[in-house]
Amino acid sequence: GQNIDQPTEMTATEGAIVQINCTYQTSGFNGLFWYQQHAGEAPTFLSYNVLDGLEEKGRFSSFLSRSKGYSYLLLKELQMKDSASYLCAVRDGGGDMRFGAGTRLTVKP
């Protein structure tokens, strides 16, 4: 079967750094994606990894290890507006995007 696992909830303080982990087992691998979803809104694309290593995009970075089936999303200098759900997704061998259950991040003052 296919599994994409990530923590259900996390809490962090404004200005801090938070790391959201994701492990996956899928039928084939064609890239790992992170999406942000604010309550009541559609998901929006944050980052993409297809090779091992770190991809940095402003305050957000994403890491991938294909051999370990592992990724993380790193958010720096947290702001209140970063409170949202963060969805880990894998494009499988068939080209379909499979989503984890999402991690609900709460940023506190």
Partner 1 sequence: SAVISQKPSRDICQRGTSLTIQCQVDSQVTMMFWYRQQPGQSLTLIATANQGSEATYESGFVIDKFPISRPNLTFSTLTVSNMSPEDSSIYLCSAPSGQNTGELFFGEGSRLTVL
Of the candidates 29, 60, 70, 99, which one interacts with partner 1 according to CB under 8 A? 99
- Closest CB to partner 1 among residues 37, 70: 37
Burial of 53 (C-beta count, 10 Å sphere; 0-12/13-18/19+):
exposed
100 contributes a contact to partner 1 by CB under 8 A: yes
Of the candidates 63, 64, 102, 105, which one interacts with partner 1 according to CB under 8 A? 102
Contacts with partner 1: how many residues (CB under 8 A)? Answer: 19
Strand partners, 4: 24
Q: Which of residues 25-54 bind partner 1 (CB under 8 A)?
A: 31, 33, 41-45, 48, 50
Per-position DSSP letters for 16-45, written without gaps between them: --EEEEEEEE-SS-S-EEEEEE-TTS--EE
Give the residue from 54, 57, 45, 59 showing the smallest Cα distance to 15.
Answer: 59
What is the binding site for partner 1 (CB under 8 A)? 31, 33, 41-45, 48, 50, 87, 91, 95-102
